[in-house]
Amino acid sequence: MEKTLSNNITELAKSIPEYIYLFLIASTAVVVGIEWDISWHETIGRDKLLSPPHIVVYLGGIICGVTCAYMALRQTFIDVNLYNRYVTFWGFKAPFACWVCIWGTIAMLTSAPFDDWWHNAYGLDVQIISPPHLVLAAGFFAILLGTLLLLIAEKNLAKGNQKYFLELLFMYSASLIVVQFAIILTEYSFANKQHTYEFYLISLTIYSFLIVSFRNAADHKYAATIIAALFILHRLLIIWILPLFEAEPLLGPIYRDVDHYVAPYFPVLLVIPALAVDLLHHKITISNRILKAAMIGVCFCITFFLVQWHFAEFLLSENARNWFFAADNNIPYWVRMGERSYEFWFQEWTPYGQKSELKKMTLGNFGLLTIFTIIFSYLGSFFGTWIRQVKR
């Protein structure tokens, strides 16, 4: 019985076009390379243009770009009906996803010399969000989105078990996009800030949009829950694996002894509000999109807030200072350790020495969070419906 099931899965995997796996490999390489690069900065300091994390990122972009170029050239000059349906651009024919990914590859490779020049002109990065990093982020978002669109198009044209297998690959691809935004939100998502209005405002608007979008685009009954679980699993693997490798700071000032790679922060517990979205998506049968988005948005906001508020308190406690939660492994070498390291922050200093006030949560602020979450859930339902219809 088990052997037969294994053979069926193997045959099903072989029936999927090879270029889909190349897209997924490229997307994974880009995301892992970015996470490694951030850890490199927090552990070692200044890097070079061809540092190992950069090579992994560029390799992912090149794999995706070369695959797309091959698909476009082959469909244009050899077999116009090769990839089911296509979009014409400057006389070349290829699936729509290819053009999105080609743009992303160009943006990523353009950001490399821009980033190197930025370092030479201004020194070490003091923030994740900088002009060259924004160009890079736009590039790898295009690659991740293109991969997602390709899988949706293939899924919409597939039948039977192949359609179900492509649905699983779609959910994995969607989880990488959630990881990407979690990376972008790093500076706003430290456990010390998870009792502030700013953290919940940014997190709720972005995550509600993504989860509702992917829920509307998917067929699986628990798609949002699976996507959120894959997102958490990916981040946990990075948290657990990176500190296994030795590394040390090579650029001052050094305020903390580090002898291994610094891990990312523990991911937000997105799986619980995602499960609520899945359950409500099937329970609510009304056709009014605004009312449905309002009900889902309110539920998402309440569950995310309650879960993360109390979980943040745990992350700052001694119980989280172990290999699993990595509360003592996610602090860069250039951060001074003190009493504030394990307290909630309501004011901080920018990298340029300016004091910045953070808002505390109030009943009025929570009301605003609910409204914003409803709005972005509504927008997410529109976006998810649109990508669900992609077939070329």
Residue 282's pLDDT band, with cuts at 50, 70 and 90, is confident
pLDDT of residue 48: 73
pLDDT over 70, % of the chain: 88
Mean pLDDT value across the chain: 85
CA distance 23 to 26: 5
pLDDT of residue 2: 46
Structure tokens at 30: 């880009």
Q: Are 118 and 353 in contact (CB under 8 A)?
A: no
Residue type at 21? Y
CA dihedral sign of residues 354, 360, 361, 362: negative
For 315-337, write each residue's pLDDT tens digit: 999 999 999 998 888 888 877 77
For 363-381, write each residue's pLDDT tens digit: 999 999 999 999 999 999 9
Q: pTM value? A: 0.90
Residue 261's pLDDT band, with cuts at 50, 70 and 90, is very high
Q: Are 112 and 139 in contact (CB under 8 A)?
A: no
Residue type at 118? W
Neighbours of 211 (CB within 10 A): 31
Identify the top-confidence range among 54-68, 171-185, 316-330: 171-185
For 201-253, write each residue's pLDDT tens digit: 999 999 999 999 999 999 899 999 999 999 999 999 999 999 999 988 887 77
Residue type at 62? I
In order of 180, 203, 269, 299, 341, the CA distances from 305 in angstroms are: 21, 10, 10, 10, 22
